Amino acid sequence: MNPLPITCLLHLLLLLVVTDAFSLFPKKTHVQINNDLGSGIDLTVHCKSKDDDLGERHLGYRNNFGFGFRPSIFQNTLFFCSFQWNGITHRFDIYVQMRDKLLCSQCVWDVRPDGPCLTNYDLCFPWNISLLLLFTIILTILVATILVKGNKDQQRRPSEPAGAIPLLGHLHRLGNNKLLHRTLADMADKYGPAFSIRLGVH
């Protein structure tokens, strides 16, 4: 038996395995951050990932800062940055693998007052919402919902005859010399076809 075809086949198989293995590992990505806030405005940038702190950088107008990394094979690479200028602080996730892997391997961001823009695509994003702002929004929605629901409940509540007594409610009004159905009919004439009465402890 000729060993040459078997050797060629093994080499070809090895080449396919190595090629597949390398395709599993994403290629190196580079992120560049440009100060595009306006003339005379300096930008302080501080970027981090779960594992790396890239330190604080001070950028004059039109200056930039960049860093490179190899994204995770698990598609969970995240770099987040804080941006400060003129007493203002904003945060933004500058690289999110699930968002950016198809957009860029050379991700160039222009930082503008409204938010960062991915210059490769002229695609702009809003700043991340701060936790305090998010909490305030949620609390406002909850309070508004409770108030609106309370107002609707009061509007839907049927009228109630006057004269309820603590512990007894309206029982004393039902126990007079009239028959019960006549007493209730008189109340219906006065308060409408739907009304509420309190019976006992409330």
Domains of the chain, first to last:
25-132 (2.60.40.10), 158-202 (no CATH)
Task: For 127-136, write each residue's pLDDT tens digit.
Answer: 998 666 667 7
Residue 116, class by beta-carbon neighbours within 10 Å (0-12 exposed, 13-18 middle, 19+ buried)? buried
Task: For 40-69, write each residue's pLDDT tens digit.
Answer: 999 999 999 999 999 999 999 999 999 999
Give the amino acid at 9.
L
Mean pLDDT taken over the chain: 82
Q: Where is average pLDDT lowest: 7-11, 24-28, 48-52, 140-144?
A: 7-11
pLDDT for the residue 59 = 97
